[in-house]
Amino acid sequence: MPTLTLSTPAEREAHERLSDLVPWMAKPRDALRVQAAEIAIQLWLQDPAMTESVVRSKWFQDGTTAHEVDVLRRFADLASRSSAVAAMIAETPWFNDVVTERERDLFDLLARGDLSPSFLDEHPEDAGRFSDHLVRFFISALSGMTPGALATFERQPWFADGLAPLEAAFAIAVSRLPHDNPMLLRDLLQRRYIATRSTSLPLAGEVSLYLVQNSPIPDSEAILDRIEATARLMEEWLAAPFPTTDIILLLGDATAVDYGIYRGGHFGSHMRLTRYEYGVPSIPHETAHYYFQGVGETRWFVEGAAELTERYLDDAVDISVYVVDGPGDGPAPEEAPPPHAVSCLIDDGAQNIRHFDSMAHERHGVLIGDYCTYSLGEWFLTHLFDAIGPEALGAGLGHWYQQQESLAETFGQSRTWRVGLVDTDPDIPNPERVIYDSLSQAVPEHARDAFEKVYRELHGGVSGGPLDDIPDDVGDTIQTASPLSPGELVEGALEHAFDFDYFVFKATSGQKYELRFEHATPTSSLALYSMPLTNPYLGRQFYERWGTVLKRVTSASGDLTRGAVWVAPRSFRYYVAVQNFGGPPGPYRMSIVALKETPDDHGDSQATATEVTLLQPVEGTLEGEQDIDYFRFQPVEGQRFHVEVAPLEGEPPRVCVYNREGRATTGRSEDCSVRRDGGVVSFEWTAWSPYDFYLAVSGGTGVVSYTLLITPVEE
């Protein structure tokens, strides 16, 4: 057991006095408490009154976590540099209640000395104002400021003499602009227009609303009314106090000057939207994000909840917009397009949200700005709204919000980012499980079956949780992958909705392999990975996000799907995984077959690739569905190219560009499909390195003749 070292009579006296205030300090029972006690003793020797305020805090009295010790150590560093500022902070409610990343970041900023002494000296010594305005400005600014940007604000007279509430609101509103939009910041510092008012919300009490704009605000406009209406709806619907006492909106007027700003965004401390000729969209959506925050794998949920809130406020929640087939006995009009959410699933070959989440990320990367994440979330929550009723859904959303608050207190994570941190701390609950449990506990018994049906069919269900009672034939991780020999037929089973079966095999450089797979549900597939996967937390996220998917094969036909051909770029271990994304369990068959070499006009691998010259057309023929034609070219780094493959006969082939490691650099990693126009496959591509790249033409269903042409694009 670690012991507390007390070297001097002063330290022993400080320990005795502090033990009277904090019983556990008498005999700290673990290393973290010993560290906290040693820091507190040194603080006491410096300023007993300040230290008493700190140790009486709730978070210190009930023992300390590693995060709290880290924050305490940073506070002590600040106190050694500026005792007056530290003493003022020690009295503020936000420090005495719970410590989060906000305190840590603020202490680091103040301890570095980036803020001029004149600002702190001239700021009114009012702990409440210091906490409520100055601190929130720094916290907001830290996440978005460019180096040296703080000096820009310090040169403003209204900033240097301390921040009144209106000035603090403006400073928060523009705190990210030094990085995001310097031109808009310049104009706002020269001339700005602010509308503000206070209101009393039933649960949060007194709340101030601020609207900041770079042009005059029309007297007849009701933007603050719309913000207030959303805040009142959220409190009533979620039965939770509004998360802040200052609601701040920055409006960039783009009707006269093109600032190049995106439509909108929410930054935790404030909102930013754009004014267009037709008005200001998305005000309720961004206001709702004061409750619904987060990034990562559950972005579909927070964006969908914000979208649904706006519809609910406007009494426009309508399940009928998601009905693909029209009413009556006849077929729906052919010209009627499917809802956007359904189109997202169709475009990515996905059956539900969890399936889409993996397929789309694999093909397109992080989908933070992709509108599919918005429409899929609204689609799912609208169906729940219809199935269980608005009251139950609101209660479930309220449970989720309260759970996020609890997680922030427990793990000390910033509420803006914590949803995406599941893999940085294995103790943080699976966010998909948190969503399901929060919504589920609010569902009335008569609506239970409808709730589960919507969750199963539209969402796919929750992975993770205890699965020990479900026997598994093959390991769920690369560490437990089963060895596989080329040509071996595997007959296995997916035991549950999110079962992943991993295999490992040794491939030979330049060898052509055919992937064969059969399973009778469209949510399952066979994936081939090019590198070891790194996520050790079973059931937390889909593993393929940490590997490179070289090939993915789907099958719901009941027959062994063939024709998925892959050429190994090097001799190495590769992983294959049979994966289920929310579908029913069931048996599958799978094999990887090494194909024999056949006479060919162009090589089937990087080693035998045909070298091509820009602007010189090359003719080729795919002799069958197992044929792949490889072409090699060395580009100029940063040069953009237009690639065109025009089939002379047969169906349009698949085309993809690979780097030396065999990773696709354009198109989709599953089948390399790109835009097809009149039987011509064409796309533009930018070389991001000067090394050799390889273009592969494949996918013939018979004999396909084609012409390849690569043309540099003039900028």
Does some domain include residue 578?
Answer: yes
Q: Which two tokens stand for residue 160?
A: 């240097």
What CATH number did the domain enclosing 680 receive?
A: 2.60.120.380
Who contacts 514 (Cβ-Cβ below 8 Å, separation ≥6)?
562, 563, 564, 565, 566, 592, 593, 595, 626
Q: pLDDT tens digits for 616-656? A: 889 888 866 667 888 998 888 888 888 888 876 666 677 87
Q: Treating both helix axes as pointing N-terminal to C-terminal, what angle do 390-411 and 371-388 enclose, rounded to 10 degrees?
A: 120
Residue 223 has pLDDT above 90, yes or no: yes
C-alpha triplet 8, 13, 16: angle, nearest 5°: 130
Distances (CA, A) of 512 to 323, 598, 605: 45, 11, 8
CA dihedral 456, 459, 461, 465 (to 10 degrees): -160
Check residue 674 and report its DSSP letter: -
The residue among 410 and 202 whose pLDDT is bigger is 202
In the sheet that holds 561-567, the strands lie side by side as 490-494, 586-594, 512-519, 561-567
Q: What is the pLDDT of residue 123?
A: 43
Q: Could you give the CA distance from residue 303 to residue 301 in angstroms, rounded to a whole number? A: 6
pTM of the complete model: 0.69
Q: What is the pLDDT of residue 585?
A: 85
Residue 705 has pLDDT above 60, yes or no: yes
Q: Which two tokens stand for residue 228?
A: 């207030």
- Rounded average pLDDT over 370-379: 88
Does some domain include residue 404?
Answer: yes
- Rounded average pLDDT over 537-559: 55
Residues recorded for the chain: 715
In 82-222, which residue ranges form alpha helices assigned H by DSSP? 83-90, 93-97, 101-112, 117-122, 127-129, 135-142, 149-154, 157-160, 165-174, 177-180, 182-190
Q: Are residues 342 and 455 in the same domain?
A: yes
Q: pLDDT tens digits for 77-132? A: 888 877 877 887 787 666 766 676 656 666 766 666 555 544 444 444 443 344 44
- Rounded average pLDDT over 504-516: 88
Pairing of strands 676-677, 482-483: unpaired
Backbone angles phi, psi at 103, to 5 degrees: -65, -45
Is residue 645 within 8 Å of 712, Cβ to Cβ? no
Residue of 570, 562, 586, 353 whose CA lies nearest to 457: 353
The residue among 596 and 203 whose pLDDT is bigger is 203
If one counts the domains in the chain, the total is 3
Q: Which residue is associated with the tokens 């992937």? A: 515
Of 594, 627, 645, which residue sits at a domain end? 594
Percent of the chain predicted with pLDDT > 70: 73
Number of H helices, E strands in the chain: 25, 23
Q: What is the pLDDT of residue 28?
A: 86
- Rounded average pLDDT over 405-430: 54
**Concatenated DSSP letters for 435-473?**
HHHHHHTT--GGGHHHHHHHIIIII-----S--TTS--S
CA dihedral 89, 94, 98, 102 (to 10 degrees): -80
Q: What is the pLDDT of residue 295?
A: 56
Q: Are residues 556 and 633 in the same domain?
A: no
Confidence class for position 208, pLDDT limits 50, 70, 90? very high
Who contacts 130 (Cβ-Cβ below 8 Å, separation ≥6)?
88, 89, 92, 123
Is the torsion defined by CA of 136, 140, 146, 152 positive or negative?
negative
Q: What is the pLDDT of residue 534?
A: 43
Q: Are residues 332 and 360 in the same domain?
A: yes
Pairing of strands 500-507, 572-580: antiparallel
Does some domain include residue 285?
Answer: no
Q: What is the pLDDT of residue 121?
A: 43
Its domain, for residue 688, covers 610-712
Q: Which two tokens stand for residue 384?
A: 């729940």
Is residue 154 within 8 Å of 160, Cβ to Cβ? yes
Check residue 130 and report its DSSP letter: I
- Rounded average pLDDT over 399-408: 85
Task: Report the range of poorest mean pLDDT among 496-505, 578-587, 695-704.
Answer: 695-704
The residue among 215 and 699 whose pLDDT is bigger is 215
- Rounded average pLDDT over 527-554: 56
Q: Are residues 584 and 655 in the same domain?
A: no
Q: What is the pLDDT of residue 334?
A: 47
Q: Which two tokens stand for residue 41?
A: 């003793």
Q: What is the pLDDT of residue 258?
A: 76
Does some domain include residue 299?
Answer: no
Does some domain include residue 280?
Answer: no
CA dihedral 365, 368, 370, 375 (to 10 degrees): 130
| Mean pLDDT of the chain, nearest integer | 78
Residue of 289, 139, 301, 283 whose CA lies nearest to 224: 283
Q: What is the pLDDT of residue 97?
A: 66
Q: Are residues 383 and 504 in the same domain?
A: no
Of 537, 568, 594, which residue sits at a domain end? 594
Q: What is the pLDDT of residue 638?
A: 80
Q: Which two tokens stand for residue 33?
A: 């408490």
Q: What is the pLDDT of residue 465?
A: 43
Backbone angles phi, psi at 42, to 5 degrees: -65, -35
Q: What is the pLDDT of residue 391?
A: 97
Q: Are residues 453 and 589 in the same domain?
A: no
Q: pLDDT tens digits for 419-432? A: 333 444 456 677 88
Q: Are residues 410 and 374 in the same domain?
A: yes
Of 401, 426, 459, which residue sits at a domain end? 459
Is residue 558 within 8 Å of 520, Cβ to Cβ? yes
In 263-389, which residue ranges form alpha helices assigned H by DSSP? 283-288, 299-313, 340-347, 353-364, 371-388
Neighbouring CB atoms inside 10 A of 463's CB total 23
Confidence class for position 547, pLDDT limits 50, 70, 90? low
The residue among 377 and 419 whose pLDDT is bigger is 377
Residue 393 has pLDDT above 90, yes or no: yes
Q: What is the pLDDT of residue 104?
A: 67
Q: pLDDT tens digits for 650-702? A: 666 778 787 776 666 654 434 455 545 556 777 887 887 777 888 888 775 56
The residue among 269 and 227 whose pLDDT is bigger is 227
Q: Are residues 412 and 445 in the same domain?
A: yes
Q: Are residues 390 and 453 in the same domain?
A: yes
Residue 510 has pLDDT above 70, yes or no: yes
Q: Which two tokens stand for residue 131?
A: 């906490």
Q: Are residues 387 and 420 in the same domain?
A: yes
Residue 606, SS3 per DSSP: coil
- Rounded average pLDDT over 593-616: 82
Confidence class for position 204, pLDDT limits 50, 70, 90? very high
Is residue 586 within 8 Å of 519, Cβ to Cβ? yes
Does some domain include residue 115?
Answer: no
Residue 238 has pLDDT above 50, yes or no: yes
Q: What is the pLDDT of residue 468?
A: 46
Does some domain include residue 208?
Answer: no
Q: Are residues 354 and 443 in the same domain?
A: yes
Q: Are residues 322 and 415 in the same domain?
A: yes
Q: Could you give the CA distance from residue 423 to residue 417 in angstroms, rounded to a whole number? A: 12
Q: pLDDT tens digits for 430-485? A: 788 889 999 999 999 999 999 999 998 899 887 644 444 556 667 777 778 899 99
Check residue 691 and report its DSSP letter: S
Residue of 626, 621, 611 whose CA lies nearest to 707: 621
Is residue 551 within 8 Å of 604, Cβ to Cβ? no
Phi-psi region of 389 (alpha: psi -120 to 50; beta: other; left: phi over 0): left
Most confident range, picked from 118-122, 286-290, 320-324, 592-596: 286-290
Is residue 697 within 8 Å of 600, Cβ to Cβ? no
Q: Which residues lie across from 573 on neighbouring strands?
A: 506
Residue 203 has pLDDT above 90, yes or no: yes
Q: Could you give the CA distance from residue 227 to residue 272 in angstroms, rounded to a whole number? A: 13
Residue of 167, 235, 175 whose CA lies nearest to 199: 235
Does some domain include residue 102?
Answer: no
